[in-house]
Structure 1
Amino acid sequence: MDRTKHMGTASDQEAARTIASRYLSVHERGGYTYRPFMKRGIYRREDYRYLADLKVLLPDAKLGTFSYLWGRYQAPMVMNLRFALIPYGPIRVFVNGVLAAQSDIFSERARSKQIFELVMHEGFNDVVLECENTSGGFGGEFGTWVGKLDYYFLMPDLYPEQEGFCYSKTLENQLDVLDAQHLNVLAWLPELPDFKDDAVDLGRIFNDASAQSYVVVATALHLDTSTWCNVICNAELSIDGKSITGSVELSEGDHDLVCYAKVGDGFELSIKEARTNAPLFCHTPVLDLNSSYRYLFAGPFDMRPEGFIVQCSKPFATSQGQDFWHLEGVSTYLRMYNDNVLFGHWNYPLGVTLYGLVETERMLKPTEPELSNRIHSYINRHIQSSIDTYAYACWDAEHLGGATAVHHLMTSLDSLDDCGSFASTLLEVAKDHELHDYAPLMEVVGNYLSKTQPRLSDGTFFRTGLMHTFHENTLWVDDLYMSVPFLCRYAAYRNNPEYLEDAVHQFFGFSKYLFLQEEQLMSHVYDFERNLVTGIPWGRGNGWALFSLSELLTVLDVDHPKRDALLSLFQGLSKGVLRLQGENGMFHQVLDMPQSYEESSCTAMFACSFSRGVRSGWYPDGEPYRQACLKAVQALKETAIDSEGHVWGVCRGSEFSCSRQYYAHQLLPRLDDTHGIGIVLLSLCEAQKLG
């Protein structure tokens, strides 16, 4: 950070305004991407890796022959892509034509995971796997090194904008050169439909539907000028809501076409410019204008559907259950992706980010209504988008392989990280925002915490049975924030004190395993596999604990029988933290390791917690904590917030270790990391309330 551009002389409100304005300028606009998807061939499965069992895909392949798998990865910058390979037989991995990795005989025999760092340049990178057919196996599994890491590959231009890998018919010999020119001449699978044919065989798309079933066909037409058109269609057709037969004059611009066809009749549509007889080509309403796919198909329906609304955000009911749009070809669907960096995503750091934004909105409302309203609109759109796409994501997870590109955490729900933070913020935002239809999501999260999330015998949450197996049989201080704030708000939402009692119970359970009595700090993790507490007082971990306890004490009745014990814990942890504040006001990545770097998110969390403690009268003597809060926020303005609204010095998302060196020297800070933006905003809001 350029120290000459810090915000040390700015007011708390001005600093918050600057951060929020920058954040909105980068992430305010966002929408969803649609792509064709073939549920055949090589696509991601429930573990988020691609499955290419070529013994199944190429059953007639001779031993000793080769098949090539081809995908493309779009990198935002020069980077290393961590890539897992589980070979069934010999595999060599090429990146942009250069050998980058290969299997070994040990992993081939055991079908065990190998992890490689693939060097990617900015933009599209060709990733090609050369697979040899052996008696031991042919092909393999590959992709993300850990479950729920939602990166994916696109097929080459032969299959425009489609996710997955294509695979070649077998070759007797290996290719000497693996560039696009040499790859393009191979015979690739899976096969695409014949897009040049005006007729579509609906029976191939809906192969188990009766011939008398109806199908809704949606398409669009773009005209550069007003045109008389000759329209031939073997189905009932409307254009822009008007029934059409024969010739029609269409104005310049976009036109929506909807047809009702019967499966047995197939579907055929021809539109030609009346004067020249030149064909006019339709395109799907949501794919790129240059896409080869022309139509969306919904069905089958036993009767002609009345009032059917063409929309691409939710599944719809058919005679065979819930379904989504099909495209031309066998087992081919329209699929939704979220390619935004942050907008519309549901994860725990964004839950904190939006919490900070909504408090900033409330702080700015009396004096800066324009920016406050802008933040209000953004929060609404982000959260409502997450609400509105959940039904689609559940359908996608059930029907398209298991690995979704929208709501990938909530559709692979196996941890508190996946649900609690964002759901808590949703309930907080719903207090004064116009959110709707979120009850099903809240029910899922509430049921998960109360009935599904693993617990120790004493009822304390812990981590087991996760896709991320490194976390197996551990208890993390982070999970206080991933559970307690939601339980507090959910108790009020459901008017059920049992959830609040669970929140109280969690603090005593976590403290039993993680509170370091001598230091009056919390250890990051307890490892039940080795039956030990790691003993590292990670800054943000202690921030999660103290901040979450402030959330609980804020809503707990003053006469609650365990309130005094919780206040004692709050005071003790506050005391342990306070003594480690640096002279400039910052706290360190490892709290009692002054040579570790100054970390912004924990500094902000402690400032928030101290402010709440002072304002609520939770300290016998609040003045030291008042001064510590103001000093911490001033330090953030001087060392972590620059004049452009960037937030510096925020530790990235963590794993865990018994070594302090991991936290100090490997778990390094990142610019504008969402683990810190929201909590820094909250600290600015709290400091202003404190005065």
Structure 2
Amino acid sequence: MDRAKSMANASEFQSAKAIVERYLSLHADGSYTYRPFMKKGIYRRHDYRYHADLQQLLPSAKLGTFSYLWGTYEAADATTLRFALIPYGPVKIHVNGVLEAGSDIFSERYRSKQIFDLPMKKGNNELVLVCENTSGGFGCEFGTWVGKLDYYFLMPPIYPCMEGVCYSEPQETLLDSVNADALKALSWLPRLPDFSADKLDLTEVFPRASDDEWAVVTTSFTAPKPMWCNLRSNAELALDGQSVSGSVEVKSGSHSLTLFARIGETVQLSITDAKQGGCLSLTHPLLGLDCAYRFAIAGPFVVRPEGFTIQFTKPFSTSNGLDFWHLEGGDTYLRMYNDNALFGHWNYPLGVTLYGLVETERMFKDLDPELAVQIHAYLKRHLQISIDTYEYAMWDKDALGGATAVHHLMTSLDSLDDCGSFGSTLLEIAKDHDLTGYETLIEAVGVHISKTQPRLADGTFFRTGLMHEFHENTMWVDDLYMSVPFLCRYAAYLGSDEPLEDAARQFFGFAKYLYMQDQQLMSHVYDFDRNIATGIPWGRGNGWALFSLSELLLVLAQSHPKREALLALFRNLSSGCLRLQDEMGMFHQVLDMQESYQESSCTAMFACAFSRGVRNGWYEEGEPYRQGCIKACEGLKKMAIDSDGHVWGVCRGSEFSCSKHYYAEQLLPRLDDTHGIGIILLALCERMKLD
């Protein structure tokens, strides 16, 4: 960070404003991406990896032949892509025409996972896997190295802008070079429909529907000028929502067409210039001119669907149950993707970020009303679109293989990380923002945390049965934040004390395994496989613990029988942390390892907790903690916030280790990481409240 641009001489208000203005300028709005998706061939399954069992896909392939798997990956910058391969037989991996990795005899025999870091250039990258057909197997599973990491591949340009990986017909010999020109000469599967046809076969789209059932088909066209058009179809037509037939006058611009057709009748449709002749091209209403698919198709319906609404965010009821839009051909769908990492997403760092924003909005109502209005509008957009797409995401999971590109955490819910932080923030924001339909998500989060999340015999949360195998049979101090703030708000939402009892229970259970009495700090993780606590006082881990305890103390009744014990833990943790604050007011990545870097998110968490403790009289002697909060915020302004609104020095998301050096040397800070933006805003707000 350029120290000349630090906010050292600015107020907390000015510092928070700089962060918020930058964040909103970059992430204030967003939209979803739609792509064609073929549920046949090679696609992602419940484990988020692509499954290519070529013995099933190419049953007549001879032993000794080869098949090429071809996909592309778009990289924002030159980087490496962590890539898992589970081979069924020999596999070679080519990236941009260069052989980069491959299976070995051990992974082939045991079908065990190999992990490679594949080099990616900025822009489009060609990924080609060459699979050999052997008596031991043919094909592989590949893609993300850990479950729920939602990266995906796109088909090469010979396919119309869709997700997935295509595969070649069996080849007797290998290509001399694995480049795009050579690959294009092969015959590729799965087959695409005939886009040149002037008719639509609905029986191909709905092969199990009866001929007298109905479908709704929508498409669009563009009139280059005001004109008369001849519309010809054997289906009932609506132009821009109005029933039409024959010749109609249209304005220049884009127009929507909706057709109501019997599934047994092949749909015919043409639009011609009534005066000059010539056909107007049909385009898909969402996919546009660059995509060969032209129609979005809903059905089947037992009777003609009256009042059917054309919308692309939620599934709809059909005679087969809930469904979404189909495209031409069999097993082909319109699919929704969220390619905007910081808008409309649901994950725990964003949950903290939005919590910081809503508290800043409340502080700014008097200090900067205009910016407060902007924050309010942004929060409502982000939260409402997250709510509105949940039903689609759950349908997508059930219908399209299990790996979703919208709400991928809530659809693969198996941990507190997936739901608690964002669920807590959703309840917090719902207090004073007009959100509709959020109750379904809150119910899902509440059921998981209260009834589904694995627990020890004493009721303490721990991690097991996860898609992320590395976390198996562990307890993380992080999970205090992933559960307790939600439980505190869930108690008020339900009007029940039981979630608060559960929240209090967690602190005693976690302390039993993670609290280090001699240091008055929390170990990051307890490993039940080895029956050891890692013994590392990770900064943000202790921040999660102390901040979450402050959340509970804010709402726990003064007369609660466990309150005094919880206050004692709060004071002990505060004391253990405060003694490790450095001269600049910062706390370090490993709290008792001063040579580790100054870490911003834990510094902000301690500042928040100290302020709450002072303001609410939780300390026997509050002045040291008042000064600790002040020093921490001064340190953040000097070391972590610049005049452009950047946030510096925030540790990225972690795994765990029994070595301090992992945290100090491998878990390095990232610029504008969402693990820190929100909590720093909360700290600045707490500092203002402290005055």
Q: In the TM superposition, what whole-angstrom CA distance separates every residue of 1:102-141 from its partner, at most 9, and x where no partner exists?
A: 1111111111111101000011100001111111111100
Q: Tell me the TM-score normalised to structure 2 length.
A: 0.99
Aligned residue for 2:624?
624
CA distance in 2, matches of 1:372, 1:295: 43
Is 1:397 matched up with 2:382?
no
Aligned residue for 1:257?
257
C-alpha displacement at 1:49, in angstroms? 0.2
CA distance in 1, matches of 2:467, 2:421: 19
What does residue range 171-210 of structure 1 map to in structure 2 within 5 Å? 171-210=171-210
C-alpha displacement at 1:198, in angstroms? 1.1
CA distance in 2, matches of 1:673, 1:579: 27
Aligned residue for 2:42?
42
CA distance in 1, matches of 2:9, 2:22: 19
219-228 or 317-326: which moved more?
219-228
**1:265 alignment partner, SS class:** coil
C-alpha displacement at 1:312, in angstroms? 0.3
CA distance in 1, matches of 2:434, 2:16: 24
C-alpha displacement at 1:250, in angstroms? 1.0
CA distance in 1, matches of 2:441, 2:29: 24
CA distance in 2, matches of 1:420, 1:341: 19
Aligned residue for 1:537?
537
Is 1:635 matched up with 2:635?
yes
What does residue range 243-642 of structure 1 map to in structure 2 within 5 Å? 243-642=243-642
C-alpha displacement at 1:410, in angstroms? 0.3
C-alpha displacement at 1:276, in angstroms? 2.7
**2:50 alignment partner, SS class:** strand
CA distance in 1, matches of 2:156, 2:395: 27
Aligned residue for 1:16?
16
CA distance in 2, matches of 1:18, 1:517: 40
CA distance in 2, matches of 1:296, 1:630: 58
For this pair of structures, how many residues does the alignment match? 691
C-alpha displacement at 1:334, in angstroms? 0.2
Q: In the TM superposition, what whole-angstrom CA distance separates every residue of 1:488-543 from its partner, at most 9, and x where no partner exists?
A: 00000010110111001001100111100010000000110000111100000000
CA distance in 2, matches of 1:484, 1:560: 16
Identity %: 68
CA distance in 1, matches of 2:138, 2:28: 46
Q: Tell me the TM-score normalised to structure 1 length.
A: 0.99
Q: In the TM superposition, what whole-angstrom CA distance separates every residue of 1:412-468 from its partner, at most 9, and x where no partner exists?
A: 000000000000000000010011101111111000011100000000000000000
CA distance in 1, matches of 2:516, 2:665: 23
CA distance in 1, matches of 2:261, 2:612: 64
Aligned residue for 1:231?
231
C-alpha displacement at 1:254, in angstroms? 1.4
Opposite residue 152 of structure 1, the aligned amino acid is: Y
CA distance in 1, matches of 2:42, 2:226: 44
CA distance in 2, matches of 1:86, 1:264: 44
Two-structure CA RMSD over aligned residues (Å)? 0.7
CA distance in 1, matches of 2:290, 2:444: 40
Q: In the TM superposition, what whole-angstrom CA distance separates every residue of 1:270-300 from its partner, at most 9, and x where no partner exists?
A: 1111223211111121113221110011010
Aligned residue for 2:150?
150
C-alpha displacement at 1:575, in angstroms? 0.4
CA distance in 2, matches of 1:288, 1:126: 24
Aligned residue for 2:4?
4
CA distance in 2, matches of 1:661, 1:476: 19
Opposite residue 523 of structure 1, the aligned amino acid is: S
CA distance in 2, matches of 1:243, 1:121: 51
CA distance in 1, matches of 2:499, 2:341: 34
CA distance in 2, matches of 1:664, 1:320: 55
Opposite residue 429 of structure 1, the aligned amino acid is: I
Point out 4+ residue stretches in structure 1 off by more than 4 angstroms.
Answer: none
C-alpha displacement at 1:160, in angstroms? 2.0
CA distance in 2, matches of 1:649, 1:288: 42
Opposite residue 510 of structure 1, the aligned amino acid is: F
Opposite residue 604 of structure 2, the aligned amino acid is: A
Opposite residue 667 of structure 1, the aligned amino acid is: L
**1:21 alignment partner, SS class:** helix
Opposite residue 253 of structure 1, the aligned amino acid is: G
Opposite residue 310 of structure 1, the aligned amino acid is: I
CA distance in 1, matches of 2:569, 2:214: 65
C-alpha displacement at 1:29, in angstroms? 2.1
Q: Which runs of 5+ in 1 are unaligned?
A: none
CA distance in 2, matches of 1:422, 1:260: 41
CA distance in 1, matches of 2:430, 2:452: 25
Is 1:655 matched up with 2:655?
yes
**2:463 alignment partner, SS class:** coil
604-613 or 362-371: which moved more?
362-371
CA distance in 2, matches of 1:266, 1:381: 41
Opposite residue 572 of structure 1, the aligned amino acid is: N
CA distance in 2, matches of 1:221, 1:9: 58
